[in-house]
Structure 1
């Protein structure tokens, strides 16, 4: 009997833990804990397994920090640990620690139609490369390929490539930020803080003094129309997000789809659907017909990292996902 595996999704504030039935992929017994309440990740995992009265030998943790070395040090929390030591302490035969965006990418083959919304393009081609990106605190980017019946995530730091302006407004925002930052990456516009940067750049273009807004202030005032510049900022954000996604599609011919994660877009789906996102996604000159075939999906599943950790663990144990 395959039994259960432990899966976890660790952010700067919370850790979510669950069990996955390795044979079927069914996820259950989800619990959320505050990271600050526990000295270490091993402590909270031990508590969870004790509460569930389960002994597991396989585990996969998706965590928001680099995972390529044995020593794991979280970027936005004090937890730091050796993968080898935690594995020995908890008695796991298999202990996989993956980057949170690898987790999101690995969730994609398991998403149902109810966990995503398509935005234009044709049908996704089975086995073709996939891209995923997500504006959140930063801009995460990864690719997923299918090789020898397995899915392989190709992580990277695509959010830090140079931002390319495509119209006068974007050019002004870019110049505005270059004076203050020097190098301006795509993340400086395509993220929560990036939305504020766009607002500030547009206020400068209009000769006005920007208020000390948070991302939620921009979206709230943009959606209710109380601040015309916030409306503009959201429009620029959606257009630039489309241009960046179209670039990802060209990079690896992602006919398996381009997926958007991160949660920002789901807060203003109606605005997004009426924006020029898809027009910009396809606006690739001689390759407009090529990119027009590529489907875009908004991930609506609230726990894609946890779902991806389950997929990664199951595939590591010889199951197809």
Structure 2
């Protein structure tokens, strides 16, 4: 077995974040964020990172990816990158390469988060030791959770962001009709993600017979918060409300009475707007199970790169999925 640190990488649709872990139990260090579009693939990005931090090679590695990991060949959902796990292990001369879903890695980090890295939204106290749920919007929509076992917490490896979008009023029904004509199947991710914000904005413009501007996700968010474009205002309102409904669906499905954690990059970007948004009201609007979900706390994850901690923990515990 080689000497040297472990390499961890959080691979999203837009960015890849690398770090080194000196030994089991250590925190990830020497973090660096790179644009995926700047590199032909994962191997090239990893070599560039190792060169920049002055490390000749890593001993082991754990990578998370924004897609399901079902075979040796991994193809990212929202990125052109694809790679073979075994070929990448050999190319980087690693003793071990672990590849898991990005929200599985984030779920593994939840027990390592500090109180000041979380911001509570609404009420609820939760049940200690009960399952917890995880959802988060960024380039895509990730979903996971943790279940208590005798050996510790067991993360869910799934693709819950691709369940069908569930509208709750006529306006959202209209958005669904427009998006169905465009995409066919309208997943939750088609609405609750960066591209989803743009798609909802464009759908609202179509419903109102207005020509949509060529906006990027961050422009929709900024204009919505500033109130400078009525369709952007409505788009982020629908995003927050839909996220509340999807979160409640996840909680009742998993029996996650321990709480719901919100990851991803979009909600933190919304800042104070999110606390006055329809999120928590829609979360608690669950008919006969409204009281059930009202007792479940919801937290925003404020930590910058928590998934890297989850990957370090996965290597430390030899997590096998």
Runs of 5+ unmatched residues, structure 2: none
The partner residue of 1:280 within 274, 279, 282 is: 282
State how far apart, in whole Å, the 1-side matches of 2:162 and 2:49 are.
38
Query: Map of 1:1-321 to 2, 5 A cutoff?
Result: 4-12=5-13, 14-33=15-34, 36-37=38-39, 41=43, 44-45=46-47, 48=50, 51-53=53-55, 57-75=59-77, 76-81=79-84, 83-88=85-90, 90-316=92-318
The size of the alignment, in residue pairs, is 316
CA offsets 1:47-66 (integer angstroms, 9 cap, x no match):
72895557753321123343
CA offsets 1:240-289 (integer angstroms, 9 cap, x no match):
11111111110011122211111111111211111121011011111111
State how far apart, in whole Å, the 1-side matches of 2:181 and 2:65 are.
34
Equivalent pair of 1:25/1:311 in contact (CA under 8 Å): no
* TM norm structure 2: 0.86
CA offsets 1:99-131 (integer angstroms, 9 cap, x no match):
222212211111112222111233343432122
State how far apart, in whole Å, the 2-side matches of 1:60 and 1:220 are.
35
CA offsets 1:212-257 (integer angstroms, 9 cap, x no match):
3222222222222222222122212111111111111100111222
Equivalent pair of 1:25/1:314 in contact (CA under 8 Å): no
CA offsets 1:178-207 (integer angstroms, 9 cap, x no match):
333332221221112222222233334434
How far residue 78 of structure 1 moved from its aligned partner, in angstroms, is 4.1
State how far apart, in whole Å, the 2-side matches of 1:230 and 1:43 are.
35
How far residue 167 of structure 1 moved from its aligned partner, in angstroms, is 1.5
The 3 A distance-change label for structure 1 pair 285 and 47 is: closer
State how far apart, in whole Å, the 2-side matches of 1:12 and 1:137 are.
6
Mean CA deviation greater in 21-30 or 288-297:
21-30
State how far apart, in whole Å, the 1-side matches of 2:317 and 2:298 are.
25
RMSD after superposition: 2.9
CA offsets 1:66-122 (integer angstroms, 9 cap, x no match):
3222233445244523x3344345554432111222212211111112222111233
State how far apart, in whole Å, the 1-side matches of 2:233 and 2:55 are.
52
* TM norm structure 1: 0.86
Equivalent pair of 1:41/1:79 in contact (CA under 8 Å): no
State how far apart, in whole Å, the 2-side matches of 1:217 and 1:55 are.
40
Equivalent pair of 1:46/1:90 in contact (CA under 8 Å): no
Equivalent pair of 1:19/1:28 in contact (CA under 8 Å): yes
State how far apart, in whole Å, the 2-side matches of 1:96 and 1:164 are.
35
State how far apart, in whole Å, the 1-side matches of 2:97 and 2:205 are.
50
What secondary structure does 1:238 align onto? helix
Runs of 5+ unmatched residues, structure 1: none
